[in-house]
């Protein structure tokens, strides 16, 4: 996959593109099941039209740039993870537009002229609720009207689970409430984060191994508590428990883990951590969750010691 970084500079032309493109538009944080529907639709159209598939996305997240808060915006999928998902989905070209205050002020028409027509987009695929241009004033109706015969448009209808739109926002809310076991219905798989293992040699041999995992910066993590996890180290999966104590969203973060049947972990190894189930929060409470009960946690008290 070719990656093209684009910076918006007034009166400066974008790099010339030689290929005609089918373009999928959106931020795509998490690359969840709704996003996958967009990318699969766009890929099928690209194959049929014998064009390359491009994704046009933005970085950082518009909220990080447009909201007053100075706190970093934590992602479900930091940029390298998103890129890997696009490769897996058969994307040929990825445009990453730097989202700046100046870019956010582009009118819907200017965005279409510069970033769709200007980049050789001949067919555009986006979801029913995609918005673009200053204050998000452009929508899919306007995009179709604005195409002026220069490109065609496919609007992908809403993909839902349990009467809810599958969205990055729902997945973020589930993480914040600790409901990691419900995430696969929206994401397509368990939520995963990459990190590095910090392990000291054990003094005695046990059936499990204590270690620390330094989660890479940029990730949104679930709420504090104790979780059932799976950790992939050097192509092998281990079951385990993770204690998430502090939450400094966005920055690198240390987790305490115990991994079963794992005797020889080398320090500094890359680890993929899969968040499987919430056991207890910091007050030893267990959420009694169902998919219709994502906001209001009802707790049962259970004693616990790690």
Ligand X SMILES: Nc1ncnc2c1ncn2[C@@H]1O[C@H](COP(=O)(O)OP(=O)(O)OP(=O)(O)O)[C@@H](O)[C@H]1O
By CB under 6 A, residue 134 contacts ligand FMN: yes
Task: Please report, as residue ranges, which positions from 104 to 123 form the binding site for ligand X (by CB under 6 A).
Answer: none
What is the 3-class SS of 105-142, one letter each residue? Answer: CCCHHHHHHHHHHCCCEEEEEEECCCCECHHHCECHHH
Q: Which is nearer to ligand FMN, 143 or 177 (CB)?
A: 143
Smallest separation (angstroms) from ligand X to the CB of 187: 10
Note whether 62 binds ligand FMN by CB under 6 A.
Answer: yes
Least distance to ligand X, CB of residue 204, Å: 48
Report if residue 188 touches ligand FMN, rule: CB under 6 A.
no
Question: Is the bond preceding residue 60 a cis peptide, omega within 30 degrees?
Answer: yes
How far does Cα 223 stand from its chain's mean position? 17
* Span near ligand X by CB under 6 A; candidates 19-27, 85-93, 195-203, 224-232: 19-27
Which residues between 78 and 107 bind ligand FMN (CB under 6 A)? 103-104, 106
The binder of ligand FMN chosen from 133, 195, 250, 287 (CB under 6 A): 133
Between 33 and 117, CB nearer to ligand X = 33
User: Which of 8, 35, 123, 179 touches ligand X (CB under 6 A)?
Assistant: 35
Minimum distance of ligand X from residue 172's CB (angstroms): 7
Residue 130 binds ligand X, judged by CB under 6 A: yes
Which DSSP symbol is given to 75?
A: B
> Minimal CA–CA distance to 129: which of 103, 165, 172?
165
Position among 23, 38, 226, 273 found at the interface with ligand X (CB under 6 A) = 38
Q: Is 298 helix (H, G, I), strand (E, B) or coil?
A: coil
27 binds ligand X (CB under 6 A): yes
159 forms part of the interface with ligand X (CB under 6 A): yes
> Encoding tokens for residue 291?
């998919």
**CB under 8 A, 24+ apart: contacts of 214-217:** 214/252, 214/253, 214/254, 214/255, 215/252, 215/253, 215/254, 215/255, 215/273, 216/78, 216/252, 217/78, 217/250, 217/251, 217/252
Binding site for ligand FMN (CB under 6 A): 26-27, 62, 66, 103-104, 106, 111, 130-136
């Amino acid at each position: 996959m070719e990656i093209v970084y684009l910076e918006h500079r007034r009166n400066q032309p974008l790099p010339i593109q030689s290929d005609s493109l089918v373009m999928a538009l959106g931020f795509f944080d998490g690359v969840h099941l709704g996003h996958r529907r967009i990318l699969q639709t766009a890929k099928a159209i690209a194959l049929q039209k014998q064009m390359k598939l491009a994704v046009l996305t933005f970085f950082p997240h518009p909220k990080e740039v447009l909201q007053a808060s100075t706190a970093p915006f934590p992602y479900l999928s930091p940029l390298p993870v998103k890129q890997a998902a696009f490769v897996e989905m058969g994307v040929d070209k990825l445009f990453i537009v730097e989202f700046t205050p100046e870019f956010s002020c582009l009118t819907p028409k200017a965005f279409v002229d510069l970033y769709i027509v200007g980049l050789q987009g001949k067919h555009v695929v986006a979801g029913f609720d995609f918005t673009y241009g200053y204050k998000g004033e452009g929508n899919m109706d306007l995009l179709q009207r604005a195409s002026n015969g220069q490109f065609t448009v496919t609007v992908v209808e809403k993909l839902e689970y349990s009467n809810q739109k599958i969205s990055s926002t729902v997945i973020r809310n589930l993480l914040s409430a600790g409901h990691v076991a419900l995430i696969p219905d929206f994401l397509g798989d368990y939520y995963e984060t990459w990190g590095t293992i910090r392990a000291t040699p054990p003094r005695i041999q046990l059936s499990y191994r204590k270690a620390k995992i330094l989660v890479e910066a940029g990730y949104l993590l679930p709420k504090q508590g104790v979780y059932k996890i799976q950790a992939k180290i050097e192509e092998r999966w281990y079951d385990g428990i993770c204690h998430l104590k502090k939450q400094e969203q966005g920055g690198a973060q240390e987790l305490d883990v115990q991994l079963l049947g794992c005797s020889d972990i080398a320090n500094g190894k890359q680890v993929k951590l899969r968040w499987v189930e919430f056991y207890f929060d910091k007050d030893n409470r267990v959420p009694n969750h169902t998919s219709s009960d994502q906001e209001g946690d009802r707790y049962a008290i259970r004693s616990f010691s790690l």
